[in-house]
Structure 1
Amino acid sequence: MPATALEDRALGPDLARGLMLWCIALANAHHFLDAPRVLGGYPVRKSPVDEAVTWVIATFVDGRAFPLFGLLFGYGVAQVVRRHPLRARNVLFRRALTLIAIGFAHAILLYIGDIVAAYGMLLAFGAWVVFWRDRWLLLWAAVFFVLTALPAGGALESALEGPSAAELPPDVPTLLVERLPAQLVIMFLGPIGFACPFLIGLWAGRRRWLERPPRALWVVALVGIAAGVLGAQPLALVLAGFEPVPSAGDYGLIAALHTLTGTLAGAGYAAAIALLATRVRRGPVIGALAATGQRSLTAYLAQSVVWALVFTPFLLGLASELSVAATALLATLTWLATVALCVRLTRAGRRGPFETLVRRATYGREHDAARPHEGVRA
């Protein structure tokens, strides 16, 4: 089926995806830092500037970007079901297999923190639930919300671990040996953490809330973001070094609070961006962000090329040289580079290469019926 033309696409979802990719870059980059002591992916010894940057990222980005990603993913699935009601499951299964294949190659070759394969696994599950009644979607969203918010044993011990050999392999053989089992764990267990926002996004997508925002989204935006900011403070202050590291039990509690309120913040961000989209014109900046959102898979994978080049020990190997502030700057510049790439693709009337691949694998010959200047659904 032909893709939706750019001029017919709602701005809200695309704008949210474009901005989300900046948050994803900020959330990922600092986890490569290798230091004598780390806590939650941040070096323990930091400059005042690094402390401030850590607080900002831990408050507004960590544990907040990925729930937003999950919600938008579920929202996109609802759009697919709306367009293909009679063969939605078949379409979604094919898309799921394609995402698993892309994500697996991405994890082994570039970035072991890959979430594409995990979303492929989630989509394989989601293909069975897309026709559930609303109450079942919300009930299971609540179940997964509670499960992911439960305090995890060994949370402090995990937070004190630096990058593994899978993240910073010293050589190619180690890369291949260490990343395979790590990716299998992420791919099969990762969907548990994304299931709640995915189901909420699927429910909201049925109502097209991000395209036609109701007044209730103001409440979602205000409550979600406020809860995210307040709920992040106990952990953010510890990670930034403003408060001492608590006991293992207390750390598990504040980490669980951070996760729980992160899901609320993700929904709040999505609502706020959707409301913003109804009040802004598609100028150069908004258009560039929307173009990036339309090519979110390509932009996400492009970030990993930078991570691999900059941090891999047998390439530039800067994991021990950069600071938190430096990685935040690197993440921002990387995101801006992907925005520029997507703008260039838009002007050339082209989709992102990975959006083209997913669409071709999902729809086969129908892909070729779409005009090259048309947009790409998530």
Structure 2
Amino acid sequence: MSTQSGPTGLSERALGPDLARGFMLLFIALANSHYFIAGHEYFSGFPTAGSPVDHVVGLLISTLVDGRAFPMFGVLFGYGVAQIVRRQRESGNDWWPIRKLLWRRSLVLVVLGFLHAMLLYVGDILAAYGVLLFLGVWALRWKDRWLFVVATAVLVLTALPSGDTLAGSAEGPDPSMLPATFLGQFPDRLVVQPFIAGLGWIGFVTPFLIGLWAGRRRILERPAEHLTLLRTTALLGLTIAILGALPVSLVVGGVLSRPSDHAVTVLGPLHDAAGVFGGFGYAALIVLIAHRLSRSGGDRQGRVTVAVAAVGQRSLTCYLAQSVVWAVVFTPYLLDLSDTLATTTTALLAVATWLATVLLADRMRRAGYRGPFELLIRRITYQPRTISDTRSRNSGSRA
């Protein structure tokens, strides 16, 4: 008879993955917020008009953040799935019940992502990750070489020339992002959201599969055993990400003139593909930092480190909290600051929003509270199986 293994307790969690998730949300805030800025001409989601400071900030975000935050999210997502699988297998559960558990989790992400897109932020990625998880459960038993083969193949395909890339986007905010009325937002979003959820997961396949592989070996939880790999990944990953971003980011920064449309179809996908390596590099770098802090003892970690890790432990709640800010600040029927804020001030808003979630998460940590959406997804994911197991145990006792 199998036993139920629930989610990892907060006291049992490794610092590295949580710290990476915490900083990841800063990158996501910077990556998402600039797409709300109104202007007349755009390149790669940034208004081409602006002050010299705006151009510098845009260059830094395009180089270090855009297309680099979400791959790190994908790596950590795959890593988390591998953790769930390992705990379930160690508890004696078979593969089919584990798949059903993960499918419940994917359904929660799809439904929550749909509501998130309809009410707050149409650029939601939760539903796309739900679709990815629903399909990705079939990769749980793949051998390592197949994880790498498929991950490489998908990366190569997504790096091929294409006009469908955010990195080369010459358009401003989509009408569904800035609806004029509350009820008027639903028709546009009902069209856009299924497209994002149905196709958006493709770009996350590579980091998800690599995250599964890393999770099998507990690389982020046991960095002392994989220091050479982590250091190499951090150095090469970030180098590739920065060099691959420069053709686009230098245009954003006003250093280079806008390339031709044909050149954008080549440079845009390369910018995004290089960002996948940046996601690997950031995850490795932050885990190495966490390892150094952990070796120095709890006092060395400090309140800031613990607070950022608390964000990582409540990443879903903090991610949704960011969308509340974007909706209030930018939506035309609320504060309507899309025309007022520029690249620099929007970046400051993103940092301030992330800092607010750090304070919120740390307060929940001190209160011993996981976070409302973390509790929701765990309750739905694990509760049905717990009830089933309880009934089975009771039936066995009566027999």
Question: Could you tell me which of 162, 169, 189 is aligned with 2:179?
Answer: 169
Closer/same/farther in 2, CA of residues 156 and 219 from structure 1, 3 Å limit: closer
How many Å separate the matches in 1 of 2:130 and 2:198?
Answer: 10
Q: What is residue 247 of structure 2 aligned with on the other side? A: 234
Q: What is residue 277 of structure 2 aligned with on the other side? A: 264
How many Å separate the matches in 2 of 1:187 and 1:204?
Answer: 25
How many Å separate the matches in 1 of 2:198 and 2:375?
Answer: 26
Q: What is residue 346 of structure 1 aligned with on the other side? A: 365
List aligned pairs for 1:228-377, cutoff 5 A: 228-280=241-293, 281-364=300-383
Q: What is residue 118 of structure 1 aligned with on the other side? A: 128
Question: Could you tell me which of 38, 51, 55 is aligned with 1:47?
Answer: 51
Residue deviations 1:12-41, cap 9 Å, x none?
Answer: 100000000000000000000111112121
Q: In 2, are the aligned partners of 1:156 and 1:248 still within 8 Å (CA)?
A: no
How many Å separate the matches in 1 of 2:106 and 2:11?
Answer: 28
Residue deviations 1:303-348, cap 9 Å, x none?
Answer: 0000000000011111011000000000000001111111111111
Q: What is residue 216 of structure 2 aligned with on the other side? A: 206
Q: In 2, are the aligned partners of 1:100 and 1:116 still within 8 Å (CA)?
A: yes
Closer/same/farther in 2, CA of residues 157 and 90 from structure 1, 3 Å limit: closer
Closer/same/farther in 2, CA of residues 172 and 7 from structure 1, 3 Å limit: closer
How many Å separate the matches in 2 of 1:158 and 1:149?
Answer: 13
Q: Letter of the aligned partner of 1:211 in structure 2?
A: E
For the residue of structure 1 that corresponds to 2:145, the secondary structure is helix
Q: Letter of the aligned partner of 1:258 in structure 2?
A: H
| 1:4 Cα deviation from its structure 2 partner | 2.7
List aligned pairs for 1:72-111, cutoff 5 A: 72-85=76-89, 86=94, 87-111=97-121
List aligned pairs for 1:107-146, cutoff 5 A: 107-146=117-156
Q: TM-score, normalised by structure 1?
A: 0.94
Q: Letter of the aligned partner of 2:41 in structure 1?
A: R
Residue deviations 1:263-305, cap 9 Å, x none?
Answer: 0111011111111111014320110011100000000000000
Q: In 2, are the aligned partners of 1:156 and 1:251 still within 8 Å (CA)?
A: no
Runs (4+) off by over 4 Å:
154-158, 365-368
How many Å separate the matches in 1 of 2:201 and 2:332?
Answer: 30
| 1:53 Cα deviation from its structure 2 partner | 0.3
In the alignment, is residue 28 of structure 1 matched against residue 26 of structure 2? Answer: no
Q: In 2, are the aligned partners of 1:292 and 1:343 still within 8 Å (CA)?
A: yes
How many Å separate the matches in 2 of 1:185 and 1:315?
Answer: 26
For the residue of structure 2 that corresponds to 1:132, the secondary structure is coil
Q: In 1, are the aligned partners of 2:168 and 2:268 still within 8 Å (CA)?
A: no
Q: In 2, are the aligned partners of 1:166 and 1:174 still within 8 Å (CA)?
A: no
How many Å separate the matches in 2 of 1:365 and 1:155?
Answer: 40
Residue deviations 1:93-125, cap 9 Å, x none?
Answer: 000000101000000000001000000000001
For the residue of structure 1 that corresponds to 2:183, the secondary structure is helix
In the alignment, is residue 188 of structure 1 matched against residue 192 of structure 2? Answer: no
Question: Could you tell me which of 66, 73, 76 is aligned with 2:70?
Answer: 66
Question: Could you tell me which of 157, 170, 178 is aligned with 1:147?
Answer: 157
Q: Letter of the aligned partner of 1:75 in structure 2?
A: Y
Q: Letter of the aligned partner of 1:235 in structure 2?
A: V
Q: Letter of the aligned partner of 2:290 in structure 1?
A: A
Q: Letter of the aligned partner of 2:325 in structure 1?
A: V
For the residue of structure 2 that corresponds to 1:4, the secondary structure is coil
Q: Letter of the aligned partner of 1:32 in structure 2?
A: F
Q: What is residue 372 of structure 1 aligned with on the other side? A: none
Count of residues paired in the alignment: 368
Q: What is residue 220 of structure 1 aligned with on the other side? A: 233
Q: TM-score, normalised by structure 2?
A: 0.90
Closer/same/farther in 2, CA of residues 155 and 350 from structure 1, 3 Å limit: closer
* Percentage of identical aligned residues: 54
Question: Which structure: larger Rg?
Answer: 2
Q: Give unpaired runs (5+ residues) of structure 2.
A: 294-299, 388-399
| 1:158 Cα deviation from its structure 2 partner | 6.8
